Amino acid sequence: MIEDEEVEILLTDLVDIYGYDFTSYSRASLKRRIIRLVSIDKFPSFAEFRYKVRTDENYLKRFVEEITVNVTEMFRDPSFYKSLREDILPVLGTKPFIRVWHAGCSTGEEVFSMAILLKEAGLLRKSLLYATDLNPSVLDKVRKGIFPLQQMKHYSESYIESGGLKDFSEYYTANYGQAKFDRELSEKIIISTHNLVSDSSFNEFDLILCRNVLIYFDKDLQDRVLKLFDASLGTLGYLALGTKETLKFSVIQNKYKQLNREKIWKKVM
């Protein structure tokens, strides 16, 4: 058992020693992740766990990796991607240049899905996809563009459901149980660490995707991050969130209009 106060102590340590600020994360999920980590790494007590986090920088790396949830998929929620294809890309296509930001991209499955959409719309050449996350280890995987081959059947089904017409396997080379995605896609992806809690706006975008990241933040931090997105979106830019996330009741809701049933908003002011 871990007490709430112990969680707070640990979070304060992380700010003081490493500058990682998790204090505005949703507590229920955070506590569950901490308990899980203490258990799988078999720490006999919270004190020993805390000591390890405080003193071992390599363990800190593991801590951040395990505390943040990195689960992701290609073409997750196919109807969302279908709407990107049909409603958003035709509009973005009229621009001379397209900048997309995947904030909290994890291992990059979403970024490669987007690159495929852009390619099929004939827009990849004039696009750049910025892939950011606070966790450097997931970004190494984005850089490689290699995903487990066993997932491809599921991804291919979702791809088709999203309106994809090609043979999905054209996009990767299979090797030793791995699928390596085409260079043509990865060439357009710019990778960088970026912490939504502490880093600021770094460019102006036409489309920002931040899916299943805000669910880990409390309401105040959500508002702060939404303001950051607002400051990083050009006029008439689009903001896409996860299927259970919303701009409703947020500080920026009045400046945005939801397009359809999907969680995509257009900046109208």
Partner 1 sequence: MEESDVTSSVKALLIGGSAGSLQVLFNLLPSLHHDLPFAMIVVLHRRHSADSALSELLATKSVLPTHEVEDKDVIRPGHIYLAPADYHLLVEKDETFSLDYSEKVNFSRPSIDVTFESAAEVYGSSLAALLLSGANEDGTKGLMYVKKMGGITLVQDPETAQMPYMPHYAMLHAVIDQVLNIRQMSHYINNLR
Ligand X SMILES: C[S@@+](CC[C@H](N)C(=O)[O-])C[C@H]1O[C@@H](n2cnc3c(N)ncnc32)[C@H](O)[C@@H]1O
Tell me the closest approach of the beta carbon of residue 13 to ligand X, in angstroms. Answer: 17
How are beta strands 256-258 and 264-267 bridged, if at all?
A: antiparallel
Which of the listed partners (ligand X, partner 1, none) does 135 bind, with a CB threshold of 5 to 8 Å by partner kind?
ligand X
Q: Is 186 or 212 the residue whose CB approaches ligand X more closely?
A: 212
Q: Is 104 or 237 the residue whose CB approaches ligand X more closely?
A: 104
Tell me the closest approach of the beta carbon of residue 198 to ligand X, in angstroms. Answer: 8
Asked whether the CA dihedral 145, 149, 150, 153 is positive or negative, the reply is: positive
Which of the listed partners (ligand X, partner 1, none) does 108 bind, with a CB threshold of 5 to 8 Å by partner kind?
none
Which of the listed partners (partner 1, ligand X, none) does 113 bind, with a CB threshold of 5 to 8 Å by partner kind?
none
Q: Is 4 or 170 the residue whose CB approaches partner 1 more closely?
A: 4
Tell me the closest approach of the beta carbon of residue 166 to partner 1, in angstroms. Answer: 22
Tell me the closest approach of the beta carbon of residue 69 to ligand X, in angstroms. Answer: 5
Tell me the closest approach of the beta carbon of residue 184 to partner 1, in angstroms. Answer: 30
Q: Pick out residues in 130-189 that bind partner 1 (CB under 8 A).
A: none
Residue the block writes with tokens 């409390």: 218
How are beta strands 178-181 and 172-175 bridged, if at all?
A: antiparallel
- Cα 72 to Cα 180: distance, rounded to the nearest angstrom: 17
Contact (CB, 8 A) for 168 and 155: yes
Query: How many other C-beta atoms lie within 10 A of the C-beta of residue 168?
Result: 19
- Cα 6 to Cα 180: distance, rounded to the nearest angstrom: 43
Asked whether the CA dihedral 233, 237, 240, 241 is positive or negative, the reply is: positive
Q: Pick out residues in 15-74 that bind partner 1 (CB under 8 A).
A: 26-29, 31-33, 69, 71
Query: Cα–Cα distances in Å, from 199 out to 13, 182, 216, 225?
Result: 20, 31, 17, 10
Tell me the closest approach of the beta carbon of residue 163 to ligand X, in angstroms. Answer: 19
Binding residues (CB under 6 A) for ligand X: these are 68-73, 76, 104-106, 110, 133-135, 138, 195-197, 211-213, 216, 242
Q: Pick out residues in 184-223 that bind partner 1 (CB under 8 A).
A: 212, 214-216, 219, 222
Q: Is 62 or 126 the residue whose CB approaches partner 1 more closely?
A: 62
Which of the listed partners (ligand X, partner 1, none) does 28 bind, with a CB threshold of 5 to 8 Å by partner kind?
partner 1
Contact (CB, 8 A) for 116 and 44: no
**Residue 41 identity:** D
Closest by CA to 66, choosing from 87, 52, 79, 82, is 52
* Residues with Cβ within 8 Å of residue 10, at least 6 apart in sequence: 34, 50, 53
Q: Which residues here bind partner 1, judged by CB under 8 A?
A: 26-29, 31-33, 69, 71, 212, 214-216, 219, 222, 242-246
